[in-house]
């Protein structure tokens, strides 16, 4: 029996869960997992349901769209476990890219990496080892528009549903950020909002913090201000140099990013204004 | 508008959530929080719903009982935030008792500690400071039955819904364990199932573990084998003596126990065979 | 045999450890614990030694002072485990005060709390329960100098070696900060440098972070900028309100502050410019 | 100026640190890092010193051996950062092997992996990608002695100083365990001493623990009883299946093993009876 994931975001009001579960019951569905959250601050309601259904997912699409309209919200409906088409972008640092490709190969992430894009050619062998096409798009002030156009073309060609910035050190254009809002995930190598901007490990070292961290967030036009999806931390001491913090931090970065990508791919992350709702 | 908590455990089948939410919708209820879990191993389904309802909770009792019968399960229905009547038992160690009484006073725990019971008189001043009656029930082989009878009488008198063993060093009778199954919480000073039995910190030290922990669990007749509710850990080093481990461990014990008591009091902990389902 | 703690801070150069251990060997001492750190950034060297010595600590004072002069540094010499005279200041929030007094009573902290000082009278019963004198120094713009004078008099009278700001919500005067530099510890209810200033839990909630924390630091004239001694964190979710974060955070605050006070009292915390060296 | 690491284990007595630092001072050395530990239980003393020395390390070898004899202990002396010759053994599970090879390539681990040995041929492409020779030694009851002989020959040929069992599912012979005592590190996929033996994640799931972990330990002839080097944990919930625990656990396993290997390679791990001393 196929299994579906339904993710809903709408204004809160009585009866939502009953309506959604009613629709599923009418189609013979059996709910296997369900989480919800009503935000008293924003007045919005969020729901994720995983269910087994007897027929095809397509039979649900029209009634689900009608329900979304009635609830004045949005509902994403997809097959459970369907790998989403993903572009990974990286510059020269390999730990996040290596880990995502490894986890994809092991079946640990519900993503289908259709392309690795980089402004350098350094990481090509890693992509090749994992059998993923690699596109080098040189980036410089002169050819900014050209580079963006190449990237957009790859997005089109591959039908990318998600872009993961796995330590990609260039800023994406406002157009792309807007167009794929909520579908671009970045890993920031600090425990945001601490140490925004450049060289966060050096900043952390200079401030003498006892714990460092990393943050995966959606990319918005405001740098380092996008909605936080996941964070994690590791203890450090006075004895660690900025280079040590970087080495320790890389391990935090890769697991934070992997978790964020996984939860996003499973439809567990819903945007709620400046924040996210993560339904575990 | 009053708020209610409904905790359900029953055999899994399609339509449960729809039935429960339907009952609430019929009574004008608005769900503010909901979690569920279907266990593929045991075939059981668990649900906790928090909802605002327009009328009295009493109007729900009959339909809820009928629904429980239909679902061949059990449903607990209670006012949200109602402090449950609690007896704390301790011997001579004070950290867990102190913390629970402090947190109760600060309104952090939905419990109403009606009595502190101990087999010693040592901890009386702490109970008195927090305004809780203290009963010293001396315990020895000779007066085992007598001691048990005194305890049972206090359970009766106070209408205890929960007994917390906050480092109580005597074993409760099988009768009491049976009678209050799922309503007696113990804190064990190790990361179970490691280091069962006596002197767990000494055992941990001797084995040279790098992390110690504590475990809150329901009390069953099998010592240290009850369903685990919550665990937490702390890093230690070769430099820590068994006494150091104990000092570090006490801080872990008290927060693990406090969390377990809080979740239990909020109806978030459901027993599932040898395990628990904790709906956050 | 008495045991001593020797804490050294001086410019780095070859032979320091050999000189210090030589001095101890000459006096028949046996080192039981030793940690050191040389900071390549600041060129400073830090050493803490715990040793058993056959005679009186006083016989060591002159040679230790001479060695400090030779090394152009400072050496603190004290009996191991000697409780240092401490004033705790708090306003109306009780969790940190309660915990410090509890831990002192249990012999878990090497401090001797000689006075609790507050700008309110709210917390008096807690101090009295633990047998510590309580002084209420009302604080307002009008009587700022007067209040400071009263506080300074208590510092004098009690011979305070340490002031702990256990959620004290007033700013100390630059004079007091200067006079007791490195001997005033504050707990800040955020994971500094994130969320400086007022209402950090509300700030954390609004930013949607997935982990909150607390920071114990030395107090300097720059608010929230003093050297960090210890930090710790706890996971939170979208479902936690700002009030929930506060409740969760209080448990983090108290354990971070307790650790910082303990390490300070044991001579393990040495200031190194804007940072600390913590020798475990 | 070359830098050396000196790791000492000997019976505790006064003056050890002074003797060792004296030797270094005599040779113009400058200590950059030093940790020590005296175990009151076993009466043994452990010391690790990192120092810059003006001449060749070889000039230190004789005086260091003489000092070791005087102290009735053992001293390991090596160049700081020298990669130690390492064999990695694995069966069919790739996460630990992949991670160690990746970290080696990135210069994060002071090891020189001279060979990957496996009882299967599955993981060969990974070794080849990282440019490490791969030897498949089929293992079965019939050819047990033959397989052991082949392994020993590789140990000889490569001059292996360390064997890492990166999820190698066969038991090594007592002879090899004895011969390389303290130089074989295994990763066990549970938080030892919990869940010894087979299928620890299934055991953990069945017991309903709320935290799982992994343990890196030296291999001794008593299976799962060797000295623990490092452990780490991750939170899990009732909702995780045994397969989920395995996926989560793999991330814990690889970082625990990587840390243990790194600390061992840096001479930070000293055996102390049934336990280890880890000098950070």
Q: Is B142 in the same domain as B186?
A: yes
The stretch C112-122 carries a mean pLDDT of 98
For the segment D187-212, the average pLDDT, to the nearest whole number, is 93
pLDDT at C241 over 90: yes
Neighbours, chain B (3 or more CB pairs < 8 A): A, C, D
Residues D79-87, mean pLDDT to the nearest whole number: 97
Q: What does the angle CA B90 – CA B94 – CA B97 come to, to the nearest 5 degrees?
A: 60
**What percentage of chain B exceeds 70 in pLDDT?**
100
In tens, the pLDDT along D14-64 reads 889 999 999 999 999 988 888 999 998 999 999 999 999 998 999 999 999
**Whether D17 and C35 lie within 8 Å, measured CB to CB:** no
Q: Give ipTM to 2 decimals.
A: 0.94
Mutate to test the interface with B, among C35, C233, C247 (most CBs of B within 10 A): C247
Position B209 scores a pLDDT of: 97
Q: Is the pLDDT of residue D124 over 90?
A: yes
pLDDT at residue D101, as a whole number? 98
pLDDT of C32 > 90? The answer is no
- pLDDT of the residue at C140: 86
Contact criterion met (CB < 8 Å) for C39 and A207 = no
Taking only the tens place, the pLDDT of each residue in A137-148 is: 999 888 889 999
Burial class (CB in 10 A: 0-12, 13-18, 19+), B141: exposed
| Bridge partners, C118 (sequence order) | C90, C136
> What is d(CA D8, CA D22) in angstroms, rounded to the nearest whole number?
15
Cβ distance of A211 and C232 shorter than 8 Å:
yes
* pLDDT at res. B213: 96
Residue B35 sits in the same domain as residue B107: no
Q: Which residues of A are catalytic?
A: 224
The pLDDT assigned to A1 comes to: 78
pLDDT of amino acid A32: 86
User: Both B152 and B207 in a single domain?
Assistant: yes
Closest-CA residue to D89 (of D232, D261, D265, D231):
D261
Considering the domain architecture, whether residues D248 and D209 belong to the same structural domain is answered as yes
Distance from CA of D38 to the nearest CA of C (A): 6
Query: Last residue of some domain: D24, D55, D79?
Result: D79
Q: Which of A37, A194, A238 sits opposite C277 (nearest CB)?
A: A238
Q: How are beta strands D269-272 and D275-278 bridged, if at all?
A: antiparallel
The CATH number of the domain where A202 resides is what? Answer: 3.40.50.170
Confidence of residue D67 (pLDDT cuts 50, 70, 90): very high
Active site (catalytic) residues of D = 224
Clarify whether residues C264 and C170 are in a common domain: yes
DSSP conformational letter for B113: E
CA distance C33 to chain A (A): 18
Say whether both A69 and A96 belong to one domain.
Answer: no
What is the pLDDT confidence band of residue B231, given thresholds at 50, 70 and 90?
A: very high
The last residue of one of the domains, among B79, B102, B129, is B79
pLDDT value at residue C276: 98
Please report which residue ranges of B35-143 form alpha helices under DSSP H.
Answer: 58-71, 95-105, 124-129
Question: Considering chain A, what percentage of its residues have pLDDT values greater than 70?
Answer: 100
Q: What is the CATH number of the domain that holds A41?
A: 3.30.70.260
Calculate the average pLDDT of chain C: 95
pLDDT of residue A59: 94
pLDDT value at position B165? 97
H helices present in chain B, as ranges: 16-26, 58-71, 95-105, 124-129, 144-158, 174-179, 200-207, 242-265
**B106, pLDDT greater than 90:** yes
Nearest partner of D280 among C16, C280, A222, judged by Cα = C280
The whole-number average pLDDT for the span D96-108 is 97
pLDDT tens column, B30-54: 888 889 999 989 999 999 999 999 9
CB C253 within 8 A of CB C189: yes
Which one, of D107, D20, D18, D121, lies nearest residue D64 by Cα? D20
The mean of the pLDDT values for chain B is: 95
Q: Does the pLDDT value for residue B22 go beyond 90? A: yes
D239 contacts on A by Cβ (under 8 Å): 33, 280
pLDDT of residue C29: 92
CA distance A46 to A73: 10
Residue D141 has pLDDT above 90, yes or no: no
Q: Sort out which chain B residues have CB atoms less than 8 A from A17's CB and list them.
A: 17, 21, 31, 34
Residue C213, pLDDT score: 96
Q: How confident is the model at residue C99, as a pLDDT?
A: 98
Please spell the DSSP secondary structure of A90-113, one letter per residue: ESS--HHHHHHHHHHHTT-S-EEE
Whether A146 and A192 map to the same domain: the answer is yes
Q: Mean pLDDT over residues D100-119, rounded? A: 97
The lowest-confidence range among A28-37, A88-97, A126-135, D233-242 is A28-37
Q: Are residues A197 and A171 in the same domain?
A: yes
Mean pLDDT over A245-268 rounds to 97
Q: Is it the case that residue A224 has pLDDT exceeding 90?
A: no
Number of domains in chain A: 2
Identify all chain B residues contacting D192, using CB atoms and an 8 Å cutoff.
Answer: 194, 207, 209
Say what the pLDDT of residue B197 is.
82
- Shortest Cα distance, chain C CAs vs residue B106, angstroms: 9
Per-residue pLDDT tens over the stretch A107-155? 999 999 999 999 999 999 999 999 999 999 999 888 889 999 999 999 9
pLDDT tens by residue, D219-238: 998 878 899 999 999 999 99
- Residues C64-83 pLDDT 10s: 999 999 999 999 999 999 99
Cβ-based interface (< 8 Å): residues of B facing D: 37, 39-40, 191-195, 206-211, 213, 227-233, 237-239, 241, 272, 274-278
Question: How many pairs of residues across C and D have Cβ atoms under 8 Å apart?
Answer: 55
Cβ-nearest to A18 among B22, B32, B35? B22
Cα gap B58→C81, rounded to integer Å: 60
End-of-domain residue from the set D31, D50, D79: D79
CA distance A208 to C227: 7
Show the domain range for D43: 3-79
- Residue D197, pLDDT above cutoff 90: no
Contact residues on chain B for D228, CB-CB shorter than 8 A: 207-210
Residues D60 and D166 in one domain: no
Residues B50 and B110 both lie in one domain = no
Interface partners of A (3+ CB pairs, < 8 Å)? B, C, D
pLDDT at A197 > cutoff 90: no
Question: What is the average per-residue pLDDT within C232-251?
Answer: 96
H helical segments located in chain A = 16-26, 58-70, 95-105, 124-129, 144-158, 174-179, 200-207, 242-265
Shortest CA distance from B25: residue in chain A: A15
| Tokens representing residue B52 in the block | 């605002």
Same domain for B232 and B118, yes or no, is yes
- The mean predicted confidence, pLDDT, of chain A is 95
pLDDT at D218 over 90: yes
Average pLDDT, chain D: 95
Catalytic, out of B12, B224, B232, B251: B224
Residues B168 and B253 reside in one and the same domain: yes
Q: How many CB atoms lie within 10 A of CB B232?
A: 19
Average pLDDT over residues D138-144: 89
Q: Indicate yes or no: CB of B239 within 8 angstroms of CB of C102.
A: no
Residues of chain D neighbouring A280 (CB-CB closer than 8 A): 237, 239
For the beta sheet containing B84-90, the strands, ordered from the edge strand earlier in sequence to the opposite edge, are: B134-136, B111-118, B84-90, B162-165, B184-188, B211-218, B228-235
The whole-number pLDDT of residue A144 equals 87
Q: Is the pLDDT of residue A52 over 90?
A: yes
């Amino acid at each position: 029996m196929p299994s579906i994931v339904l993710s809903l975001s709408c204004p809160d009001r009585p009866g939502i869960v009953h309506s959604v579960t009613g629709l599923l019951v009418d189609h013979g569905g059996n709910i296997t997992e369900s989480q919800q959250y009503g935000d008293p601050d924003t007045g919005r309601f969020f729901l994720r349901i995983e269910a087994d259904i007897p027929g095809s997912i397509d039979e649900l699409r029209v009634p689900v769209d009608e329900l979304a309209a009635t609830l004045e919200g949005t509902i994403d409906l997809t097959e459970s476990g369907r790998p989403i088409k993903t572009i990974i972008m990286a510059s020269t640092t390999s730990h996040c890219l290596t880990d995502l490709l490894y986890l994809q190969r092991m079946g640990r992430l519900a993503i289908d990496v259709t392309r690795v894009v980089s402004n350098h050619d350094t990481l090509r062998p890693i992509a090749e080892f994992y059998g993923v096409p690699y596109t080098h798009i040189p980036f410089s002030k002169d050819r900014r528009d050209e580079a963006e156009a190449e990237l957009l073309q790859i997005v089109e060609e591959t039908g990318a549903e998600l872009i993961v910035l796995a330590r990609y050190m260039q800023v994406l254009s406002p157009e792309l950020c807007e167009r794929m809002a909520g579908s671009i995930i970045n890993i920031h190598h600090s425990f945001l909002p601490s140490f925004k901007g450049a060289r966060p490990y050096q900043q952390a070292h200079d401030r003498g913090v006892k714990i460092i961290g990393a943050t995966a967030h959606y990319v918005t036009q405001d740098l380092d201000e996008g909605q936080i999806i996941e964070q994690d931390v590791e203890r450090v001491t006075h004895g660690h140099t900025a280079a040590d913090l970087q080495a320790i931090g890389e391990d935090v970065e890769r697991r934070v990013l992997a978790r964020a990508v996984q939860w996003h791919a499973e439809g567990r992350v819903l945007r709620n204004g400046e924040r996210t709702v993560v339904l575990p």
